[in-house]
Structure 1
């Protein structure tokens, strides 16, 4: 079985041009770190964007009230200095003094109140509005450096949402000539982060320079590198050539074969790191798309036994990828591992299909939109068990539309959890009241929602455990694997590998000669 996966490896392609090694990497010479992104960055205002590239840049140019310690998963102050729960739905936050925006304006409570009220406004249209409006009623100024958050209900992730999703904007930042302007911060946000925007060409490059007036005491610390240039280079081959020549110092999310080829050349360093992203197959256990064999528990369990997660994680994903057996990431709070596991067992899969009276004449259309080699491997495994699989590989937009219309019986999903190590981030979306929930089990949905209505950690842990037990026992998903992120970098760059898969470029520094 493993040899079949080994044959899926594609030999790393060779560069068609001859590149001589530079005598010295350009980065340290002019203190400029050049990073490559595959996807375009068209807007620097994270309130109006969602992709990983935008998060990376926002962490450089913006700050939030709180930070999350990636080692302990604990909340720590950033623009705030402390917080107090007045009661379960009221939080008082004391703010840091002596902080300045890149424009030179002083930071105060007015900026926090303005930012959150802008996000809550139905006219703002921010991408963060849905997240915050679920739990926040309003924000009140108590003093020049103190604010009060009034929650709609008990919500244990309030501080975490403040830490990850809401960069603070200057009071009036979205008013231009007396009118609201959603794009006012798109090209050059007036941020509070360790870097300020020097120039920005949407879809091509952003140039950031170290903000010398960045406040002392930030958990980010003072940036070591003076300038960062983020370039959009969609072609992996071009990224590889640029790394070889020294035109790019850092790239991430590289295909494994490309990363290993570069490392073998000695021109770049390859490191693999963990990610909170997970991959899984969602099965139409609730019959959302109409009657099918997937409403039979034995069939769903058979499909779980049929997929060789370990081989996929080891040979197709590589790095630090691990096989997954739960409907969440093991690093997340509340992600119980004490649930039924379905180890790879082809004979068991065939036996359960026979017991269920499965008819091979019934096709199973399996949708997928990324990681094609993995999709093909899953389809091959299911076919080997006797399932009539029709792999439908296409665009995410088409999959989302078909799922919203109730036309999908099975699809391979991927979820990054918003960089948040809490089971709520995956459970509420996939087992709550959304079209992603194809199991439609009201008991599971109740457990998930109840876990978000209590600040009691022990209670939350128990509720998620009960939900995950049912999800695994009823085989609503085929959990596949945790992702591994491939980083390539100049041999003279020191870049700490993040434990959550979110690169923090402000931590990068040049190695001492």
Structure 2
């Protein structure tokens, strides 16, 4: 059951359009693109952050050893010019020469080894370190432009982690006396990317300037726009009004009806593209937050899956390429197994399963969420329809992370996207606090799948993992996403197949 929650916003803006239309548009002669984010930007060091907004910024100011082609997931040289797998647990990486940090110093193997060894240390508690800890042991400088990576175990996805997670920092960035200052680069790292930080007011405004000495041959190409200003504007109505007035040039993740309405105005261009982000419900099947709670019963979890009208929510609240999904991965990704148990929208079936489980009168359920509140509200409305007394608890991501780590969450609405890595490892690894399944055998299968160098064995394991997750409803696959952008009509902004917004590709039209 869907109710329009965004039409009022768009109607108000359209009514205000005649007033805003008289406002002078921003002068593009200053070669500045002005961007608005809903989320507050507090920490610019992607080694210690996770949200998509931080990934977008990191793509502008940072570089990794490798890059991933968004159209097919293949690896491309970035800071590294070449690599050799010496043996299953040893990888040699050769670096490009002459690449400069934003302060003019040259990057060498010492910087690469320092970065990896530092973020992987237990003291740093870096999110980049958490990503690579399953395989990374240590990095060793062999030559000025050659680094040897020693693995804890064979790990076929190490290159993927190098491509999407660990931006390189100058040696000494986080300290040189044995202690680590985790906030050393939070106000703006000395990066290697196409743009450098010129000013930053946390929670307010970030100003980036194109780096004149950015290296030739980068997979990011040669960025066109000279200056990018990113502002934190939590109120979406304010973002839209400023776009119409000409003081903002680019916003994203706009509700479909708002994007379509405002896209009809001469001051605004509407773009829509695919997105590999997926939505899902995580359920406390293992009783980690609520021992012997309703969600530990498979029939109850299946009832929850049947209760949600995924197709209607995706079509009404997202639109574009969004669609219901049946598995724990976006259907377009390589290796995605769709031979899984599916749960059609069937409220009567949901009520029947609840009755069989002894909950014919329903039960109370708190659904946590940190983004896409309209979707969370629609999920809760569908659960209410079958007799589940569900309420939405919308919080900031940091609050959800803390509550989950403390085993205080029995269900939450989450999303995953931003890179080509599937969410299975992060949500079903035995050591992950995201893993609420309580299924030790599944966790072992996940561990085995990510260390196997045998392609056939790995494929078979992933097929079994996908099937088990859906059959046991450890989470409810919901939908894929479609991205709506609103931009200045003069701005050319290419959209990639993976739906990730790469601002360095933007340019001003003739």
Deviation string for 1:253-284 (max 9, x for gaps)?
Answer: 22333322321223211222233332222233
Distance 1:224 1:153, change over 3 A: same
Q: 1:393 to 1:181 in 2, by over 3 A?
A: closer
Corresponding residue of 1:296 = 297
CA distance in 2, matches of 1:111, 1:171: 5
Query: Which of 464, 479, 498 is the aligned partner of 2:462?
Result: 464
Question: Separation in 1 of the partners of 2:363 and 2:209?
Answer: 59
* Structure 1: distance between partners of 2:470 and 2:178: 55
Query: 2:262 — aligned with what?
Result: 262
Helix, strand or coil for the counterpart of 1:458? helix
Distance 1:167 1:399, change over 3 A: closer
Measured after TM superposition, the shift of residue 431 of structure 1 is 5.4
Alignment partner, residue 224 of structure 2: 224
Deviations 1:278-308 (CA, angstroms, capped at 9, x unpaired): 2222233333312244333333223222221
Q: Is the 8 A contact 2:428 2:443 kept in 1?
A: no
**Unaligned 5+ residue runs, structure 1?**
none
- The answer to whether residue 185 in structure 2 is matched with residue 208 in structure 1 is no
Deviations 1:92-140 (A, max 9, x none): 1111112112211122212111221222233444332222233211111
Could you tell me whether the CA contact under 8 Å between 1:119 and 1:132 is conserved in 2? Answer: no
Aligned length: 504
How many Å apart are 1:400 and its aligned residue? Answer: 4.3
Deviation at 1:176, TM superposition (A): 8.0
> What is the aligned counterpart of 1:474 among 472, 475, 482?
472
Does the CA-based 8 Å contact 1:334-1:460 persist in structure 2? no
Aligned to 1:422: 421
Q: Which sections of structure 2, spanning at least 5 residues, go unmatched?
A: none
TM-score computed with the length of structure 2 as normaliser: 0.91
The answer for the alignment partner of 2:196 in structure 1 is 196
1:314 CA drift (Å): 0.3
Aligned-partner Cα distance in 2 for 1:495–1:153: 42
Where do residues 7-86 of structure 1 align in structure 2 (5 Å cutoff)? 10-11=7-8, 12-15=10-13, 16=16, 18-21=19-22, 25-27=26-28, 29-86=29-86
CA pair 212-460 structure 1, distance change in 2 beyond 3 A: same
Q: 2:497 aligns with which of 477, 496, 499?
A: 499
Task: Say whether residues 1:359 and 2:341 are aligned partners.
Answer: no
Matched, 1:432 2:433: no
- Distance in 1 between residues matched to 2:399 and 2:224, nearest whole Å: 44
1:476–1:201 CA distance, 2 compared to 1 (3 A): closer
Provide closer, same or farther for how the CA distance between residues 121 and 368 of structure 1 changes in structure 2, counting only shifts above 3 A: closer
Distance (whole Å) between structure 1 residues aligned to residue 233 and residue 404 of structure 2: 32
**CA–CA distance in 2 between the matches of 1:459 and 1:182?**
40
**Cα distance in 1 between the residues matched to 2:432 and 2:124:** 24
Label 1:286 to 1:186 Cα distance change in 2 as closer, same or farther (>3 A). closer
- Aligned residues of 1:97 and 1:145 also touching (Cα < 8 A): yes
TM-score (structure 1 length as normaliser): 0.91
1:19–1:450: structure 2 CA closer, same or farther, 3 Å change rule? same
8 Å contact from structure 1 (residues 285, 439) kept in 2: yes
Q: What is the Cα deviation at residue 405 of structure 1?
A: 4.4
Deviation for aligned residue 1:247: 0.9
Matches within 5 A, 1:136-175: 136-175=136-175
Q: Is the 1:176–1:184 contact (alpha carbons within 8 Å) kept by the matching residues of 2?
A: no
CA distance in 2, matches of 1:371, 1:493: 27
Aligned residue for 2:451, secondary structure, equals coil
Q: Call closer, same or farther: CA 1:100–1:436 in 2, change over 3 Å.
A: closer
Question: Hey, what's the Cα distance between the residues in 1 that align with 2:107 and 2:226?
Answer: 24
Distance 2:184 2:401 in 1: 30
Going from structure 1 to structure 2, the CA distance change for 1:405 and 1:35 (only over 3 Å counts) comes to closer
SS of residue matched to 1:207: strand
Query: 1:376 maps to which residue?
Result: 377
Cα deviation per residue 1:432-463 (whole Å; 9 max; x = unaligned)? 33333232122211211111111333322221
Closer, same or farther in 2 for the Cα pair 1:367/1:223, shift >3 Å?
A: closer
Q: 1:357 Cα shift?
A: 4.2
